[in-house]
Amino acid sequence: MALREIPGTKGDLYSIISVSIFYLYFTREEAMKRKVIIVLIAVTITSIAASEEKIQFTNTYNPRVFSYTLKKDESNIFSLLINSSEEEEKEAFEIDAKLCAAARYNSANLAKKGDVPKKLETTALRPLLWSYGVYDFQYLPTAFIYKTEESLKDSIKVFLHTISKRGFFNCGVGVSDFKDEKKIATIICSKRVIDTFDIPKIMNIGSYLNLEFKIRSGYKDPILYFSPPSGEVKKIAPAISERGEFSYSYELSGGDGKYLVQIITQGKNGVEAVFLVPIYVGVSLSDIKKEMLTYINIEDNTKNVSVEVARDMLLKAINYERKKVNLTPLKLNQKLCSIALSKSKAMAEKQLFGHEIEQHKLEELLKSENIQFNKASENIGLNSSPRMAHFLFMSSPAHRSNILNSMFSEVGIGIYKAGDEDAQWFITEIFLMPKEL
């Protein structure tokens, strides 16, 4: 990915325009007037070019170059993001053309609606990102209205604080004009760990999905999760080449419907879900659009419930999903709930999100409480509400496989609500197969 800046010459342009207008007004020579008009046209074109920057995004596997032009306002926001991250000694962002395209679309859509929500739902944006070929599992968006440079800086500072320790590397910025000389900006940051081809959205039954990819430095041991329309989950370790590239070929033979492909890797804070893409077989475009709307039109009345009510709701939701596939319900284990709560609270206080944050690895926590087990696993979520967390768990093959694992008989649910208005819900679900004594 390369960023090419067309240098601006704002002061010189004003001087040239002033002199040109002077000559047009006072000169009587037609030849001189024609020359001045040509100069003014050239200056206008140059001034437009000087307000834009060209981004070229090149995928490692895809020779097609995705080019994108940043508007002046968007370039300004990106510069502020870079400067702010450097001041706070954070890892520098990489501008991403596809994220920029999605961000600009979102800003234009919000301007058309005439309103900006207090908080963008990450779930609602996922179909938009998929449509632009963005398959990162972890991302965080924000949108805000601004008019002055100061209000813009304040909004950026708040956003940077939100993502301060979460390791987002890639960034897209989109700006749209709004009423009363105001503007709407959308910023989408994601954690780009997987580099792969553009993946077809629609394929034929019996065809093969040939997946080749590289993983970002600092990550290792990728595992693939394939889920056909039936909802079953197949876990596979991909082949690795001498060049450090991973590959796997998967036959789409599970009938018509939506297939999900997910990649899990080992990061510095433990296992992480880093990639998710849907593939549709035997499904019309109109049906795909309807299915995508389920991500957008989620009725959510759980944002203001108490932690105790939220825990009961999640337990009922888990057992409802298990009942649908003829599995026995999970029993709530209070000791596991205490452990899960300590994990959620630690993530909130440290502003870290991971399975293996310091002193809170699952196996160590269980052993410290003298809990004997044959098998244990956990789901962790950071969401705007309990309902949204459960929806995302069930939309992720790796997380859903824990909820629908027939070997588990007990569960502990720990919820920590950080903040009041626009609260963040840190949720930990621990699944257990106790050891028979």
CA pair distance 209, 247, nearest whole angstrom: 10
How many residues appear in the chain? 437
At 312-339, the pLDDT tens digits run 999 999 999 999 999 999 999 999 999 9
pLDDT band at 44 (very low <50, low <70, confident <90, very high): low
Interacting residues of 425 by C-beta distance below 8 A, sequence separation 6+:
310, 381, 382, 383, 384, 385, 386, 389, 415, 416, 417, 418
Q: Which has more pLDDT, 295 or 376?
A: 376
Q: Which has more pLDDT, 139 or 301?
A: 139
Q: Which token pair is 363? A: 């196996």
Pick the closest to residue 269 from 363, 345, 342, 167 (CA basis): 167
Average pLDDT over residues 286-305: 79
Span of 131-140, 191-200, 210-219, 286-295 with lowest mean pLDDT: 286-295
**Predicted local distance difference test score (pLDDT) of residue 91:** 66
At 138-197, the pLDDT tens digits run 998 999 999 998 989 888 888 887 776 677 888 999 999 998 889 999 999 998 999 887
Average pLDDT over residues 64-88: 77
Distance of CA 117 to the CA centre of its chain: 18
Q: Which token pair is 384? A: 């705007």
DSSP state of 259: E
Q: Is the pLDDT of residue 299 over 90?
A: no
pLDDT band at 89 (very low <50, low <70, confident <90, very high): low
Distances in Å between the Cα of 381 and the Cα atoms of 26, 169, 364, 393 are 71, 20, 20, 8
The count of other CB atoms within 10 Å of the CB of residue 380 is 25
Q: Is the pLDDT of residue 251 over 70?
A: yes
Average pLDDT over residues 284-311: 83
Q: Which has more pLDDT, 398 or 27?
A: 398
**Predicted local distance difference test score (pLDDT) of residue 87:** 65
Percent of residues, the chain, with pLDDT higher than 90:
45
Q: Is the pLDDT of residue 119 over 50?
A: yes
CA pair distance 73, 10, nearest whole angstrom: 15
pLDDT band at 56 (very low <50, low <70, confident <90, very high): low
The count of other CB atoms within 10 Å of the CB of residue 151 is 13
Q: Is the pLDDT of residue 22 over 80?
A: no
**Predicted local distance difference test score (pLDDT) of residue 200:** 86
**Predicted local distance difference test score (pLDDT) of residue 167:** 75
Q: 23 φ, ψ to 5°? A: -65, -40
